[in-house]
Amino acid sequence: MLRDKNLVPLSRQHQHVLALCVRLDRALQTGKVELAAWQTEIQQHFEQEVAVHFAAEEKELFPAALRFPELQPLVQELLEEHAVLRELFGRAVERSLDLKGLPVFVEKLAHHIRKEERQLFEGMQKVMSAQELAAVGAALNRELEPAANTCHLPNPKSKTRHKS
């Protein structure tokens, strides 16, 4: 299903974080991971975009979806996943996300994003009117504005992380 224009800003942010997941997964597969550099990059993503993204979803998107009984169990799952993901991001901030935790982080974050894209967004597009989606989109744009002005550059040490 084509993504409604009102949900595209969230989808773009999802793409940024999925790119992080892909890069981290590739580094893990090579076995050459600079843990401190990855934890710094994960922290940067969280502080620059993900924290604002989660807050916008919880303030605007999820309450709008909760009005529809068929989406309520899914929203509850997503809220629980936000709590787990915040804990994992927090471990990176504290520099306690170890090599065993990195693949868990990647799997949980990628799974969560895909669930939002494939289940929540598509479900909302099926049950919400164009006017309802537009109202959600306007509210999301206001909430996401602080993250819109950030620039995501790879960590300068990323070249050493990805050597084959």
pLDDT in tens, 140-151: 999 998 877 654
55, pLDDT greater than 90: yes
Can you tell me the distance from the alpha carbon of 68 to that of 59, in angstroms, rounded to the nearest whole number? Answer: 16
pTM of the model: 0.87
- Residues 135 and 77: beta-carbon distance below 8 Å: no
Question: What ranges do the domains of the chain cover?
Answer: 8-145
- What is the pLDDT, as a whole number, of residue 157? 47
Token duo for residue 141: 């744009």
Residues listed for the chain:
164
* Mean pLDDT confidence for 107-132: 97
Express as a percent the part of the chain with pLDDT over 70. 90
Higher pLDDT, 163 or 40: 40
116, pLDDT greater than 60: yes
Express as a percent the part of the chain with pLDDT over 90. 86
Q: Give residue for tokens 């807050």.
A: 55
155, pLDDT greater than 90: no
* Mean pLDDT confidence for 117-129: 97
Token duo for residue 162: 């990805």
- The hierarchical CATH code for the domain 8-145 is 1.20.120
- What is the pLDDT, as a whole number, of residue 149? 62
- What is the pLDDT, as a whole number, of residue 146? 80
Higher pLDDT, 1 or 112: 112
- What is the pLDDT, as a whole number, of residue 150? 57
